Amino acid sequence: MHIHRVFVSLAIPLVLGACAPSTTQSATPASTPTGGGQFYETSDFALTLPPGWRIFDPAKDRQALQSAINSLPPEQRPVAERALQQADFRLFALESESAGLSTLNLSAQRLGQGVSLNDLCRLLPQTYQQNRLEVLETQCNVNLSGSRALRFTVETQAGATRVRIYQYVLLRQGDEMWVLTLGTSSTLWESRRAVFEAIAATFRLR
């Protein structure tokens, strides 16, 4: 299992989002407004984002993501470059506000047969700690649209900003790990936490 590599990569879009300028432009999102939100779907997954979030499809908007990476401090760019090349990112979204920035990213990774959510709930906190992310809470039985998921609350330092993250982990077909990551600065966490939970509650795998 390449869990170590995956979770090093998953930290990068959040750091990238925290550093990206608020003027970043995205391509027209493949989403449909519904009930005051943006419904986004592919053949693999669906979720709804609140109004005001800008959606990037990594397969189509790679140039915009590369521009954001180029805006990072020089010491962070090589790690972000490797992450963009290695991780199978399916979605990236930004919510810009005058007080700060919130981000979402979604990735998928084949793990091989024989890996259970119980195994991941035991192993992933160790991987977070090895990558200098502080684990604040672990929940091993969260319901997302009828599917069992894990949820980890972690913190990390992104430059001068302390960032707090929700990571939801699901398995599809027994060997494909999907990870939904939502985060913002620790100072904004309490004002954004309910929004993140509402977004996660709309997520479903197909």
pLDDT digits (tens, 9 = 90+) for 7-32: 544 554 455 444 444 333 333 334 55
pLDDT tens, residue by residue, 189-201: 999 999 999 999 9
What pLDDT score does 108 carry? 87
CA distances from 86 to 5, 6, 14, 203 (A): 8, 8, 16, 24
* 138 confidence band (pLDDT: 50, 70, 90): very high
Instruction: Pick the most confident of 1-15, 74-88, 127-141.
Output: 127-141
What pLDDT score does 83 carry? 61
The torsion angles phi and psi of 88, rounded to 5 degrees, stand at -90, 80
Whether the per-residue pLDDT at 98 is higher than 50: the answer is no
Whether the per-residue pLDDT at 112 is higher than 60: the answer is yes
Share above pLDDT 70 across residues of the chain, in percent, rounded to a whole number: 71
Whether the per-residue pLDDT at 55 is higher than 60: the answer is yes
Tokens of 100: 């700060």
pLDDT tens, residue by residue, 142-179: 999 889 999 999 998 877 778 899 999 999 887 888 99
Q: Which of 70-74, 124-128, 193-197 has the lowest mean pLDDT?
A: 70-74
**CA quadruple 147, 148, 153, 158: dihedral positive or negative?**
negative
Tokens of 127: 């991987």
* 135 confidence band (pLDDT: 50, 70, 90): very high
* Cα of 11 vs its chain's centroid, Å: 8
Across 63-75, b (16+ Cβ under 10 Å) vs e yields: ebbeebbeebeee
- Check residue 64 and give left, alpha or beta (phi > 0: left; psi -120 to 50: alpha): alpha
- Cβ-count burial of 83 within 10 angstroms (0-12 exposed, 13-18 middle, 19+ buried)? buried
Angle formed by the axes of helices 3-19 and 77-86, to 10°?
Answer: 120
What pLDDT score does 96 carry? 63
Question: Between 66 and 167, where is the model more confident?
Answer: 167
Q: Which residues contact 197 (CB under 8 A, 6 or more apart)?
A: 166
Across 126-139, b (16+ Cβ under 10 Å) vs e yields: ebbeeeebeeeeee
